Structure 1
Amino acid sequence: MVRRIEHRPAAEELRGDNIFDGVCDFDATLYHSLCADVGQDTVKDWQDRKWDHPEGLCDIIPLAWVEEDRKDGQDKERILMAIKHQRKPFWGLQYHPESVCTQETGNRVIRNWFKQALRWKYENRVTNSLVTNEILAMKAFKPSLLWQVAAFESTRELGRHTWELLLQDSDEKLQHKSTSIDVPPTTGIEVPDIVETLGSTGTSHVILDSANGNQQRSKTGVDVRGRFSIIALEVDECVRIESHTGDSFVSIVSPGQPSYKVSFQPGENVWHLLAAFHACKRSSLETGGGSVPHERDLPFLGGFVGYVTYEQGLTDTGIALGQERAHRRPDVCLAWATKSIVVDHEEGVLHVQDLEGDTRWIASVIAKLEGSNLWQHGSRTDPKKGGRLPPALDTQIRKPEQAKYEAKVRMCQEYIAAGDSYELCLTDQTHITRTVTAEKKGHRMEQPARSSQRPGQSSQKSDPRTDTSWDLYRMLRKRNPAPFASYIRLGGATLVSSSPERFLRYDRSGLCSMKPMKGTVRKSSEPADGCATSLEEAEEILHVPKEEAENLMIVDLVRHDMHGVCGAGQVWVPELLKVEEYQTVYQMITVVEGQLPKPDKWNPHGSYSGLDVLSASLPPGSMTGAPKKRSCEILQQIEGDKERSLYSGVVGYMCISGRGDWSVTIRSMFRWDDEQQKGDNDGEERETWHIGAGGAVTILSTPEGEREEMFVKLARPLSIFGQTS
């Protein structure tokens, strides 16, 4: 993966155009599956002739080689790394100069190449005007979503009325109000306890839960705990924006009003509408008076909360879905939450807040909490027990077949060997169908709710008072507490997640951070194959070429995604190939950061926000492979065009202030209301849950190893149903 590049010394025949001039030998990243055969393995006096023209290729001048021992112990493998055409201004590199693991010394190669390109242009009298150069500089930045919205406005005809109606509704003056109270110490109060105490009266919920926030800090010194949890309240009363991939419109669902559609201009999509809506709301907050807390103290004031599916990301990447979709489920489903609670686990403080400034409502919520048994006597949930799922009359589990999964791994490696991809993140799904009775469905979380059924939703909507999903969530967060856990019932979907992986975080200043995870080893208290008993042992297992290659390929992909919005020189990597300890596994992570550009002479393309990076980076690179688009196309074929749906998508929020935080939907389970069916007998229902799992396949993978990794990741969520992988 990372190899020493030996390059040609300065030579007379190159006439001063050696792009390696002044460059010492350096380490560089190699991803390639294929390499050039120019007869190098048949050259006997190699050291004397390796810089000569290859036989029969008199115009090709070798510039660099990599030599390493072969696996069979016979001689050395000779891989051509760089060439030049003797008579034309053509150079070629086999290694990746842009990779984060290519040493900075190699940057001079690119500078030398650019000098030679300019020299050739000057000698051949190819000139450009300054105006043209300015235009090229401007094109280095992708236009912001808001700039594109303004461009669409001048030609908007279709849907102008509904578009203006939506933005008019967004233009009311907002005034954020918040009151903070201390969470009683030593009471063991967790986020689910708070939700149950408030007794929400709706059928929709969004809970973004730092489930490991109250745990002790790891002894390894790496703090992987989440600090804040967000509970959106009265979600049924929120405006909801839903988009189904392939439609030329979005649906706006408003409480107590008929839903309506907003049509797109050609080239427009849901991200443009979200950007315009958010910008109007943000402007309303900034002009509405009242102070806006610093995001270090209160990251979420109100704003969008919800999910985006994997299929939405495919469409954003320019990939057509492989088959006709037999449903109307949303691929983007975001509620505009104005009432919420933010729990600061680090400070032991709870913030009750309302974007519309309803202080009476805030006081009533605080009174309900402070007067509750929970606040007076603490949580009655035994922290040592993981809970129990109410028994089902019948449970059927359909897991991936081991032989078929291994065959898919081999198919991935065939594509990689052919040079179509460097890495393919193969996944599969397990389906759990449970038959339950109404009186045994689950824990009583809420009071009866009025019907809010809308067209396209199943009439079999489960009563949230007795919904098994809440028991599933309590059990999963107890057994696998994670910094990006979530419980969501929104737009006909129910998601129960214990994700450890942040996808994208951004603040009001435009600083963006992504944290891809690749490389996993299971924790164990006793020595066992494929397990680690300590962080040191996990580092030994994970710091090997295969695992590091998996991570590095995704890191370079993420850097590419972020560069497309932030621009050159605005992306960096503060943490590379670092192993972190979580509740049940050790993970290898990398942190990539970038700064959004400011409008100026060279970038007149409007104001950027984290939404620009989010829309440009889906689906998450850690769930696709590299390069992204071609890898996604290959995975569609290998996975049989099966939808991943919520799995491999993202969940999170975009605060009205401009801040946002999104996680990758993994280590999770989900269901759709339209899949629920009546049972064979009265009072019985069948619910179907889906659990996705997989891993990154590279040329160094083994089918058996990838199959084992997939089942390891499946094990924790599947164990909730009393099953092992």
Structure 2
Amino acid sequence: MTAFRSSIPFNVLFINSYDSFSYNVVRLLEQQSHKGGYGEVRVTTIHNDTFTHVSQLKKYLPHFDCLVLGPGPGSPVNGVEDVGLLASLFEDDDLSQIPILGICLGFQAMCLSQGAQVNELMTVKHGQVYDIELTIESELFKGYPSQYKSTRYHSLHVEPSLGLIPLAHTNDENGQLLMAIQVVGKPWFGVQYHPESCCSELGWLLVSNFLQLAQRHNECSGRCDYKGSIYDVHVYDELDKTIDKTPIYEHQVDLPTQDISIREHNVCKSPLLTLYLCDAIHDFKFVMASSSQDPHRGRWSIICLPNENSDVLTHYTSLNKTTIYKWRDRNVSWKDVNASLQYGFVHPCVFSEDKGQFWQTIGQFVSSRLMSSRPDLPFVGGLVGTLGYEMGDVVPSIQSLNPDAKLVYIENSIVIDHFSGKMYTISLSDDFPVHIMQIISQLSINDPRLEWPSELPPMKFDIEVSSDASYQHAFNACQDYMRRGDSYEICLTRQTQVTPHGPLAPWRLFQTLVTRNPAPFSSYFDFQDLIDLPKDRTLCLLSTSPERFLKWDHDTCELRPIKGTVKKTDEVDLQTATRILKTPKEFGENLMILDLIRNDLYELLPDVRVKDFMSVEEYQTVYQLVSVVQAQNLSDSIYSGLDVLKHSLPPGSMTGAPKKITVQLLHEIEQRKRRGIYSGVTGYLSLNNRADWSVNIRCLYSYNGGYHWLCGAGGAITVLSQGESELAELNTKLDSALQCFTNSE
């Protein structure tokens, strides 16, 4: 190989079929750089609908050393509608000399083009790990043992045919199934399983072997020399831009320092302290409290105190409108703001922008205020609030006057470290409220006595739950979609409405909720942000969530997906729950979301690791299966944690996989109903570049100040799910919040 050739990256064109595991493949390819003699591996990614026909792609192909066709939903039998460009990709004879690797859907499309039949499996395999056996020796599997384990995500399979050389197979109740092939006479290879899954063995070696095969083929065929003679970096840049990955804001290398008023207090380590303080503070406040603890969560509690300097940012996705005003500004009337939102009247606090532009607004607001200060504290001030399900890029808009995002800028806060017994009163503007400091000085902060009632005042509640029959109908629709290959896992939810027969203050309801269901991410947000805001237009969120969605600091992002739930009973202890949660069904649920989250992080960041693999955690009413995924070296990236948050919403644990198509399916299955705050996230974005967001589950929320409370619950449906048991699990989750309304009459 010439010195000129070796200085050119080994260029891979990856065709992304909107799978939630695509970027796991992309990073696996990039990680092979300098391992096999092919130098730096540069992957250019396009979607399968970037071009409508192979003829439009053809002019770019000489610039690439090989193609990799990613996995995805749908069936190649359905043609362009399901697989886009892949339907015509193999029609052009010029591609016969281009090395291609097809994975799952890409494998099926390749085989179909060679005359093979693609049929539905009798028993579908999603998120299941199986033994794969090599059929014959092949350079694609050089260095492999005769048998290895890999993860399967497929409801379709390929029947062997004369144009295909079988390289590997597996056996299950469907019989013997083709797992890997080479097309006769061409440098085309494919695997049915997913080598990029975290439970697949030797996936890196498969990819490395393919790249070496491609390199040798290109050298022998002269493609290397031709690529060297036409090499033009602008070609790759042009294709890269077909998928927008522009950062929300540009990183500042050296953040400014800012003096912050911080007073430190020695306090007890009890999580009751936060709630004890909140009872004594009658000012408007937002609370993110750790009402239960474990070694990894529940360390910090935060009490936020909005004031006249607090900007309130609210977005309405279906209206494409944002409002920005100061907290309870006397010069801003709800009546005028509402008229602008509904009828388009001009108002200085109302702006026309879609949710993509709202993310830019958040970015501009935060980036102009970021500081280098006290990195050991999780929060020093910044934005706090909630982002609803409809804030996700892939979620369809549904007409509503209810807000989808509400964030409030906080200058004054109380931060409590329950592990060390330290409390910090913090002010960005050196004006921490004197009267609250006096309240703190008068309280027994080393011996908090909290006597919150576990029951609500006697009253009646109307509880409207959707019927079991409607759930079963939706469950059956999920099964149909999964058997066809449209999705691997679908998080089916339903919402219950509770109407109190009488006045019930949100804080009183929160007291009962957190007493009965303590959780590491307990939140209280009552957004009375305008003086004349009618109660029936006030957004309230009361949450006792067990699930962290995303946490970041200047260098690390962490996600903790929960999938798999078992109710605590006298008969079910931790050991029993662990045995239940490690069955193939529960294991598959968690694995699919774990692979999805790796993909969400890998889309922006190259260094992603699974830190905790499917551990069973105990909560007040349930046991749950939890994994931990981290991305490192955020400070070296062009992206911020805010970019990761935007690209990862809605949480994969609340959608299923693949995320894009599954969200679209849920839109129909759930009868085009808004999820709203439920399935979104709540948390903070601190100006010292730290953030922590929890998933809005086990929560009660209201858009009308508590006249009606909504409670959502759901569960992952897979092909191994049974309708009755899934409904029982859903009701278990629902009961953890609805139990507040029992024993109250």
What is the CA–CA distance in structure 1 between the aligned matches of 2:626 and 2:380, rounded to whole Å?
29
Q: Report the secondary structure of 2:157's partner residue.
A: coil
Which position in structure 2 is the counterpart of 1:113? 210
Contact (CA 8 Å) 1:210, 1:484: kept in 2 or not? Answer: yes
Q: 5 Å matches for 1:547-586?
A: 547-567=586-606, 570-586=607-623
After superposition, the Cα gap between the structure-2 partners of 1:598 and 1:623, relative to the gap in structure 1 and judged at 3 Å, is: same
Out of 279, 291, 304, the residue aligned to residue 196 of structure 1 is 279
1:91 matched to which residue of 2?
A: 189
Q: How does 1:265-664 map to 2 (within 5 A)?
A: 268-282=356-370, 285-286=371-372, 292-295=373-376, 298-313=377-392, 316-317=393-394, 319-321=395-397, 323=398, 325-327=399-401, 329-358=402-431, 361=432, 364-372=435-443, 374-375=444-445, 378-381=448-451, 386-392=453-459, 394-436=460-502, 441-442=503-504, 467=505, 469-490=506-527, 492-509=538-555, 511-524=556-569, 526-527=570-571, 532-533=572-573, 535-567=574-606, 570-597=607-634, 607-664=638-695
Could you give the per-residue CA deviations for residues 523-543 of structure 1, whole angstroms, max 9, x where no partner exists?
12x22xxxx22x211111111
Letter of the 1:274 partner, please give it. I
| TM-score normalised by the chain length of structure 2 | 0.74
Task: Go from structure 1 to structure 2 and tell me whether the alpha carbon gap of 1:236 and 1:226 turns closer, same or farther (over 3 Å shift).
Answer: farther
**What CA deviation, in whole Å up to 9, does each residue of 1:6-38 have, x standing for no partner?**
123326xxxxxx3112222321001212222x2
TM-score w.r.t. length of structure 1: 0.76
Contact in 1 for aligned 2:269/2:418 (Cα 8 Å): no
Task: Name the CA distance, whole Å, in 1 between partners of 2:689 and 2:559.
Answer: 17
* 1:250 to 1:356, Cα distance in 2 relative to 1, 3 A: same
Distance 1:350 1:265, change over 3 A: closer
Tell me which moved more, 419-428 or 272-281. Answer: 272-281
Q: Partners of 1:235 and 1:301 in 2: how far apart?
A: 15
Equivalent pair of 1:577/1:589 in contact (CA under 8 Å) = yes
1:548 to partner: Cα distance: 0.4
CA distance in 2, matches of 1:225, 1:172: 30
Matching residue of 2:165: 61
Give 1:2's aligned amino acid. V
Instruction: Say which of 151, 155, 165 aligns to 1:33.
Output: 155
Shift of 1:380: 4.8
Amino acid at match of 1:108: L
Q: 1:265 to 1:697 in 2, by over 3 A?
A: closer
C-alpha distance in 1 between matches for 2:696 and 2:548: 9
- Tell me the number of residue pairs that the alignment of Structure 1 and Structure 2 aligns: 583
The one-letter code matched in structure 1 to 2:566 is V
Give the drift of 1:124: 4.6
Counterpart in the other structure of 2:92: none
Contact 2:286 2:526 (8 Å CA) reproduced? yes
1:518 and 1:551 in contact (8 A); partners too? yes
Query: Is the Cα contact below 8 Å between 1:398 and 1:432 reproduced in 2?
Result: yes
Deviations 1:381-403 (A, max 9, x none): 16xxx5221233x4211112112
1:554-603 deviations in Å (ceiling 9; x for gaps): 01111111011113xx111011111111222111011111025556xxx7
Question: Is the Cα–Cα contact under 8 Å of residues 375 and 688 in structure 2 kept in the other structure?
Answer: no
- Deviation, 1:627, is 0.2
Classify 1:60/1:80 alpha carbon distance in 2 versus 1 (closer, same or farther; 3 Å). Answer: same
Q: 1:117 to 1:553 in 2, by over 3 A?
A: same
Aligned to 2:6: none
User: Residue 97 of structure 2 corresponds to which residue in structure 1?
Assistant: none
- Cα distance in 1, alignment partners of residues 353 and 515 from structure 2: 47
Opposite residue 388 of structure 1, the aligned amino acid is: E
* Aligned mates of 1:415, 1:654 — CA distance in 2: 38
User: How far 1:198 moved relative to its partner?
Assistant: 2.0
CA distance, structure 2, for counterparts of residue 326 and residue 141 of structure 1:
28
Match of 1:708 in 2: 728
Distance 1:266 1:377 in 2: 49
Q: Shift of residue 493 of structure 1?
A: 1.1
3-state SS, counterpart of residue 586 of structure 2:
helix
Contact in 1 for aligned 2:157/2:178 (Cα 8 Å): yes
- Deviations along 1:272-326, whole A, 9 cap, x unmatched? 11112111111xx45xxxxx2232xx2100001000000111xx12x432x4x14
Q: 1:41 aligns to what?
A: none
CA pair 378-132 structure 1, distance change in 2 beyond 3 A: closer
- Matching residue of 1:21: 142
1:51 paired residue number:
none
Q: Check the 8 A contact 1:26/1:106 in 2, yes or no.
A: no
- Partners of 2:743 and 2:714 in 1: how far apart? 18
Quote the Cα distance in structure 2 between the aligned partners of 1:695 and 1:654: 29
Question: Cα offset for 1:117?
Answer: 2.7
Corresponding residue for residue 44 of structure 1: none
Distance 1:625 1:377, change over 3 A: closer
Q: Name the amino acid aligned to 1:556.
A: D
1:238 to 299, 310, 314: 310
Deviations 1:159-206 (A, max 9, x none): xxxxxxxxxxxx9995311101122578x8432220121221x3xx32
SS of the aligned residue for 1:120 comes to: helix
Measured against aligned partners, the alpha-carbon deviations of 1:642-670 in whole angstroms (never above 9, x if no partner) come to: 11111100000000011100000001111
Q: What CA RMSD, in Å, does the superposition of the two structures yield over aligned residues? A: 2.8
Distance 1:267 1:698, change over 3 A: closer
Percent of aligned pairs sharing the same letter: 35
Distance (whole Å) between structure 1 residues aligned to residue 310 and residue 491 of structure 2: 36
CA distance in 1: counterparts of 2:262 and 2:227, whole angstroms: 61
Contact 1:668 1:691 in 2 (8 A): yes
By how many angstroms is 1:366 displaced? 2.5
Rounded to whole Å, the distance in 1 between the matches of 2:208 and 2:352 is: 44
Listed one character per residue, the Cα deviations across residues 440-487 of structure 1 (whole Å, up to 9, x for unaligned) are x35xxxxxxxxxxxxxxxxxxxxxxxx1x1121111111111001101
Unaligned runs of at least 5 residues, structure 2? 1-127, 333-346, 530-537
Among candidates 281, 284, 290, match of residue 210 of structure 1 = 290
For 1:650 and 1:269, the matched residues in 2 are separated by: 19
Distance 1:378 1:206, change over 3 A: closer
- Please say if residues 670 and 690 of structure 1, whose CA atoms lie closer than 8 Å, have aligned partners that are also in contact: yes
Cα 1:247/1:397, change in 2 over 3 Å: closer
Q: 1:703 to 1:22 in 2, by over 3 A?
A: same
Poorly superposed stretches of 4+, deviation over 6 Å: 136-141, 264-267
Counterpart-to-counterpart distance in 2, 1:266 and 1:651: 21
- The answer (yes or no) to whether the contact 1:145–1:272 under 8 Å persists in 2 is yes
CA distance in 1, matches of 2:304, 2:424: 12
Q: Per-residue displacement from partner, 1:47-101 (whole Å, max 9, x unpaired)? A: xxxxxxx4xx322111110113x3xxxxx72111111211233222110111111
